[in-house]
């Protein structure tokens, strides 16, 4: 039966199946047919746009990366072409689509039973951050149950971490009773919890970096188009070091500069179209959800719950954006010098502000801590992406965009450079009851601790946050 279902999905493709699924789910939730149809078409248009851009851009960047290896000796064969390729594969696979529906039901059940205090279905489309890991697990094991179980377990971990940071995120970004639960960005709660006491011992909490100071001098770098052009120019030069005196070389360099700037400009526009497909679903779910959020902000309120919202809400906050801008060149430099690294971050570098939101919130925007934590964690992430390059490339080639023959390995710095998720992935694809069982036991211990000690956890995090006495200038 699974083979027949997979054949059906393969025949029609994600650009047809996903809109149909959204139309059905939207109608089931009571969304008017006209709005449901508009959402479905937006999903199809977004997925088609992703596919076209990826298909056009991949051979261009592949050629230049191969030249860079030949001219500089820098061998980074795993190239980041953006999270959109992973999204396309996640929605294009049978296991991914199955979890899209099943995950929604599980999220509703977890909230209804009180296992989580975070209402995640309001940010439904970010489930692709779970679906891509399930898709990769299925590529490796061909075990549907195990892959679905991996996505479910990652969902549980995501909700737990989202609740741990919820009080701090809501306070810092000034969105009452809200938190982000993006599966591909939430694990940064872990390194800051571990490293924050160390940073305080080193006196980082007393170093006052001013976001406004950086923005006044480097504001242009915060624009996607500028970031793409600068990075495109750098990669173009590295790929033509031995022939910089020729017009042909500068033709390729300048063309790639514009091409990468275009990718970083157009991808967010297509993403906005794709995201609109899920807005009516989230609104319908919120309307059906009868529990009202408490207005109390005290950490001892046992009834306090949080609405999961898109992490785009925090992207433009000054400290968040500046930290992302500063980490961008740092991560490119580290990619070149870290021994054994095979990954070159490119398109997803613009997503770094999304990736640091939890760190920013838990340190009250202490830029030195954010950058230091990002360097440590994202460096480990480069190794995770290097290890998973073959699997991710296979998943995207099979379920997502068609990759040209001879293409270098691809990745997504935002989706796959995830050390913690990679460890869980390794445990599940081992298919060892011991390692999978250990993951489950550790989660249950953490869940019980959170359920019984939530006020104390939040009080501790508030106490740690107050040690960062730098002013939050420029915050929303």
14-42 burial code (b ≥16 CB/10 A, e <16): bbebbbebbbebbbebebeeebbbbbbbb
3-state secondary structure of 471: coil
Question: pLDDT digit string (tens) for 340-363?
Answer: 999 988 888 778 888 999 999 999
Contact by Cβ (8 Å): 319, 75: no
**Residue 60: is it exposed, middle or buried by C-beta count within 10 angstroms (0-12/13-18/19+)?**
middle
- The three-point CA angle 187-90-191 to 5° equals 10
Residue 342 has a pLDDT of: 93
Q: Give the single-character DSSP code of 470.
A: S
CA-CA-CA-CA torsion for 277, 283, 286, 287, nearest 10 degrees? -140
Question: pLDDT digit string (tens) for 159-179?
Answer: 999 999 999 998 888 877 778
Residue 283 has a pLDDT of: 67
Contact by Cβ (8 Å): 257, 234: no
Residue 39 has a pLDDT of: 82
Residue 285: closest CA among 43, 97, 99, 26 = 26
The tokens for 122 are 């309001």
Contact by Cβ (8 Å): 276, 310: no
Question: E-strand spans in 317-430?
Answer: 343-344, 409-411
Question: E-strand spans in 81-226?
Answer: 118-119, 178-180
- Only one residue has tokens 């019980």, namely 448
Crossing angle of helices 224-238 and 247-276, in 10° steps, is 140
Contact by Cβ (8 Å): 150, 121: no
Rg (C-alpha) for the chain, rounded Å, is: 22
CB count, 10 Å around CB of 221? 18
CB count, 10 Å around CB of 11? 9
- The three-point CA angle 223-228-230 to 5° equals 95
Q: How far apart are CA 303 and CA 461, in angstroms?
A: 19
Tens digit of pLDDT at every position of the chain (476 positions) = 555 555 665 567 667 877 887 788 778 778 888 888 888 888 788 878 877 876 777 677 767 767 776 777 777 889 898 888 898 899 888 899 889 889 989 999 999 999 999 988 766 778 889 999 999 999 999 999 999 999 999 999 999 999 999 999 988 888 777 788 888 889 999 999 999 999 999 998 887 665 555 555 555 555 667 767 887 888 788 888 888 889 988 999 999 899 888 877 887 777 677 767 766 766 665 565 444 444 344 566 777 888 787 776 676 677 787 787 778 778 888 998 999 999 988 888 778 888 999 999 999 888 899 999 999 999 999 999 999 999 999 999 888 766 765 667 899 999 999 999 999 999 999 999 999 999 999 999 999 999 999 999 999 999 998 888 654 444 44
Question: E-strand spans in 232-372?
Answer: 306-309, 343-344
Residue 280 has a pLDDT of: 75
Crossing angle of helices 14-28 and 33-72, in 10° steps, is 140
Contact by Cβ (8 Å): 192, 323: no
- Only one residue has tokens 């740690």, namely 464
Contact by Cβ (8 Å): 367, 441: no
Contact by Cβ (8 Å): 205, 366: yes
Residue 84: closest CA among 137, 129, 130, 18 = 129
273-288 burial code (b ≥16 CB/10 A, e <16): bbbbbbbbbbebbeee
Q: How far apart are CA 76 and CA 237, in angstroms?
A: 16
Residue 313 has a pLDDT of: 67
- The three-point CA angle 378-364-476 to 5° equals 105
Q: How far apart are CA 328 and CA 330, in angstroms?
A: 5
Contact by Cβ (8 Å): 387, 371: no
Contact by Cβ (8 Å): 175, 307: no
Instruction: Give the β-pairing of 118-119 and 306-309.
Output: parallel
Residue 87: closest CA among 271, 324, 224 = 271
Length reported for the chain: 476
């Amino acid at each position: 039966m699974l083979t027949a279902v997979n054949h059906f999905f393969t025949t029609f493709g994600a650009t047809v199946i996903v809109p149909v699924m959204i139309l059905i789910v939207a109608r089931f939730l009571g969304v008017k047919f006209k709005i449901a149809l508009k959402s479905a078409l937006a999903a199809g248009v977004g997925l088609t746009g992703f596919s076209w851009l990826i298909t056009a851009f991949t051979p261009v960047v592949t050629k230049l990366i191969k030249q860079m290896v030949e001219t500089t000796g820098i061998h980074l064969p795993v190239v980041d072409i953006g999270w959109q390729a992973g999204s396309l594969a996640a929605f294009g696979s049978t296991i991914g689509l199955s979890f899209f529906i099943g995950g929604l039901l599980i999220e509703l059940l977890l909230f209804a039973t009180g296992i989580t205090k975070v209402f995640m279905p309001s940010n439904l489309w970010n489930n692709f951050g779970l679906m891509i890991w399930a898709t990769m697990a299925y590529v490796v094991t061909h075990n549907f149950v195990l892959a679905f179980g991996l996505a479910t377990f990652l969902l549980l971990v995501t909700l737990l971490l989202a609740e741990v940071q919820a009080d701090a995120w809501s306070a810092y970004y000034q969105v009452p009773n809200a938190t982000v639960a993006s599966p591909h960005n939430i694990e940064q709660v872990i390194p800051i919890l571990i490293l924050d006491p160390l940073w305080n011992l080193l006196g980082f909490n007393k170093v006052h970096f001013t976001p406004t100071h950086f923005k006044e001098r480097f504001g242009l770098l915060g624009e996607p188009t500028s970031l793409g052009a600068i990075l495109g120019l750098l990669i173009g030069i590295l790929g033509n070091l031995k022939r910089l005196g020729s017009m042909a070389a500068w033709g390729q360099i300048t063309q790639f500069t514009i091409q990468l700037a275009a990718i970083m400009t157009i991808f967010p526009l297509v993403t906005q179209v794709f995201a609109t497909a899920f807005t009516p679903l989230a609104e319908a779910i919120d309307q059906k959800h009868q529990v009202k959020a408490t207005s109390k902000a005290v950490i001892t309120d046992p009834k306090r719950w949080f609405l999961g919202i898109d992490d785009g809400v925090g992207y433009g906050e000054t400290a968040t954006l500046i930290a992302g801008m500063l980490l961008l060149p740092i991560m490119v430099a580290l990619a070149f010098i870290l021994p054994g690294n095979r990954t070159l971050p490119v398109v997803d570098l613009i997503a770094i502000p999304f990736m640091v939101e939890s760190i920013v919130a838990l340190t009250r925007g202490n830029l030195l801590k954010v950058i230091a934590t990002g360097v440590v964690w994202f460096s480990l992430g480069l190794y995770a992406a290097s290890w998973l390059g073959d699997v991710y490339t296979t998943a995207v080639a099979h379920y997502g965009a068609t990759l040209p023959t001879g293409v270098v390995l691809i990745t997504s710095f935002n989706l796959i450079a995830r050390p913690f998720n990679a460890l869980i992935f390794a445990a599940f694809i081992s298919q060892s009851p011991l390692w999978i069982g250990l993951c489950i036991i550790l989660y249950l211990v953490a869940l019980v601790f959170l359920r019984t000690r939530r006020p104390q956890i939040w009080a501790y995090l508030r106490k740690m946050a107050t040690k960062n006495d730098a002013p939050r200038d420029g915050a929303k």
